[in-house]
Amino acid sequence: MYLKTAFLFLFCLLRTPFFGQVAGEIIFSGTHPRISVGHSIDILEDKTGGMSVAEALGSGNFKASTQIVPNLGLSSSAFWLKFRVRNLSSANNLMLMLEQPNMDEVSFYTIQPNGSYNEEHLGEYQPFSKRIYDVPDYLFHLNIPVNSEATYLLKVKSAEQIQIPLILGTEVSVFNFIGLKNMLSGLYFGIMLVMLLYNLFIYFSIRDKSYLYYVVYIIIIILTQTSLQGFPFQFLWPNIPWMAIHGGFLFPSLVGIAGLAFLHDYLHSREFVPKLVKVSYVFYFLYAISMTLAILNIFAASYGLMEITAMFVSMYMLYIAIVIFRKGYRPAKYFLIAWSFFLTGVCIYILKDFGILPYNNFTRYSMQAGSAFEVILISFGLADRIQVLKKEKEESQAEALVVLNENQRMVKEQNVMLETKVLKRTTELQETNKELSLTVNDLRETQTQLVHAEKMASLGQLTAGIAHEINNPINFVKSNIKSIGRTVQEFKTLLRKYAEITPGALPDVKLIEINTLIQEIDLAYSMDEVDQLLLGVDEGVLRTTEIIKGLRNFSRVGEDDMKAADLHEGLDSTLILLNGQLKGSITVQKEYGKIGLLECFPGRLNQVFMNILNNAIQAINDARKDTSGLITIRTCKDEKNIYVSFRDNGTGIPCEIRDKIFDPFFTTKSVGQGTGLGLSIAYKIIEKHHGNIAVESEKGSGTLFTLCLPIGIADLQPDSSGIRNVNS
């Protein structure tokens, strides 16, 4: 491989052109079958690009070329090349070759003796299939008989560097030369393809992304180098002239971007020189500008920016490799050697484009040869990196084994210590658990006692109210019974007088006694009085019956299951039991809506009503000593819920404690007057019904409790409070 590459350089160096003709006239004697004729032509710059053939022939502004390969630089102008060929050889058919595939427009004119001309139009602006010969270079037949001459015009235009390597020779020699070029190009592309497949195979084997970066880099290098020789236009996109014209601007910039990405990953630049890595973002930006300018057809600026950036990037990458190599990272050595070859080729190529170095085979193929050496050497470096990684892995495994053994020793020691500590801690935890269990049992007993105390307190209030309510009708019945008994005795006395009338007695005398007794007891009044007293007894009994019925409705004795209940009935029964606490000083205003029946636990909801009304009564009694107390009970419903609200004009609840009123054991009452469980129990009961309680209150403005109860209550289960949830 090294011999073949050396042969490529030797060919480039030894391929020196034959010259010695007069400017503007080319004499082909046949001594050499192929000669370079760039120094024997006249050149005319057409700044507008619109000059006709006649105007070009008649122009006196042609200038003789002084270079073997004329370098016209970057220009938007068209250039006319005029030359005359005298054939002194034995061959009738000669061929002219323009060895520069990257020409946008190439027009060839054969001037006839009578002033007419034949023309051929080629270039990258039209599909590759328009060409007569299937080669990237431009070939033109020169039918010049022996010992005769002909005049020709060649018009060229390109957005890239315009260099005119013209070769004149026989058909056989020209095609032999093309074959030799293709063979050397094939050798180059074969090397690149082998390196590409080799690194791609290694990537799939070890999954190291450095190889993937390098594969991408090689692909773009191949596209760049082949673009310089016109092969992509011939084989990849022959019908896309846009790619042929713009590829020479886009691919070199992509090479720079891919090279920077590979450099940073391969040499671990972010670890060794993190500050220098940031400089690469400037180059990425410049390359992006260059490609953007090319896409916008601003070719001169794009090409100049691209080549200047490439030169600085080359130096930048070389500097980073040197710095990292000095830090002892072995892969940097391979990169440094490889990049030196490529950098040399790039610099020679760029200096050739700027006209500092002459255009010849050495300068033209320097970058191609440098890239081949670079790819081979970096592939060696990547292979060596595997060995480095393998060695590092072995060292790491050895260190890990030592650390593992040390860790095992420490773990054993720690296990012994931990077992001792765990045993000690377990004993302490067991003792703590016993203490906690006792404490929890004490708390449960305390909670049970407090709940029982709350129930007893409520029961005491309820008993006092019931006793008061039943005592009134019973006293009324008792007093009426005494009056009825006294009147009944009088009626019995009167009846006995009637019983004394016998057949032997004097009727007139007995009748006088009876009439006297009737007047004494006022029989008509007594009979009316008995009727009134009996009505009073009946009313007292009815009142007592209503109280008993209200008590039964409130407690819902024997109703532990969920059922459809009328909340209004529960509210009324609760008010009957609390009537004694209202004392006539608190007015209850009922605003019942049409709510229908609700699936619920009626007894539990009555307990909620009792607790809320009790709090309202106490708040009103604390705030008002007159008869202006008012409790408003309102019910309503919507599609999903039934709402029961209780509004009072009592003391209200301060804002700072409003969020605490449902907490267990929270109370604002004096010690011994409340346990703080009433509203907590009410909240739990409503929560078990899947409802909620809303509170609106301000100090001194009364309080509004609103119960929201879902109409369809489902999935209720028993709990410790006695509520059983039933799937509805």
In which band, very low, low, confident or very high, does the pLDDT at 52 lie, cut at 50, 70 and 90? very high
CA distances (Å), origin 119, targets 49, 122, 128, 141: 17, 10, 18, 11
Report which DSSP code applies to 18: P
727 has a pLDDT exceeding 50: no
Specify the pLDDT at position 354: 65
- In the numeric block, the tokens 């500050």 are attached to 275
State the average pLDDT over residues 710-717: 58
**Do 657 and 668 touch, CB atoms closer than 8 A?**
yes
Of 203-212, 325-334, 350-359, 613-622, the one with minimum mean pLDDT is: 350-359
CA distances (Å), origin 214, targets 194, 258, 333, 493: 13, 8, 17, 137
359 has a pLDDT exceeding 80: no
Report which DSSP code applies to 654: -
10 has a pLDDT exceeding 50: no
* Of 277, 286, 65, the residue nearest 162 (C-alpha): 65
In which band, very low, low, confident or very high, does the pLDDT at 452 lie, cut at 50, 70 and 90? low
Specify the pLDDT at position 22: 39
Specify the pLDDT at position 83: 93
Between 205 and 643, the higher pLDDT residue = 643
**Do 34 and 177 touch, CB atoms closer than 8 A?**
yes
147 has a pLDDT exceeding 60: yes
Report which DSSP code applies to 25: E
Q: What is the distance in angstroms between the CA of the first residue and the CA of the last residue of the chain?
A: 89
**Do 626 and 591 touch, CB atoms closer than 8 A?**
no
User: What percent of the chain is modeled with pLDDT above 90?
Assistant: 22
209 has a pLDDT exceeding 50: yes
State the average pLDDT over residues 407-412: 82
504: Cβ contacts below 8 Å, ≥ 6 apart:
none
Q: SS3 for 493-546, per residue?
A: HHHHHHHCCCCCCCHHHHHHHHHHHHHHHCHHHHHHHHHHHHHHHHHHHHHHHH
CA distance 570 to 578: 12
457 has a pLDDT exceeding 70: no
Q: What is the mean pLDDT of the chain?
A: 79
**Do 68 and 364 touch, CB atoms closer than 8 A?**
no
State the average pLDDT over residues 332-346: 81
Structural tokens at position 334: 């391979």
pLDDT digits (tens, 9 = 90+) for 367-402: 778 878 888 878 777 777 666 667 767 777 778 788
Specify the pLDDT at position 11: 34
pLDDT digits (tens, 9 = 90+) for 258-306: 989 988 988 889 999 999 999 999 999 999 999 999 999 998 899 889 9
**Do 156 and 164 touch, CB atoms closer than 8 A?**
yes
717 has a pLDDT exceeding 60: no
130 has a pLDDT exceeding 60: yes
Report which DSSP code applies to 711: S
Between 405 and 302, the higher pLDDT residue = 302
244 has a pLDDT exceeding 70: yes
pLDDT digits (tens, 9 = 90+) for 75-86: 889 999 999 999
Amino acid identity at 303: Y
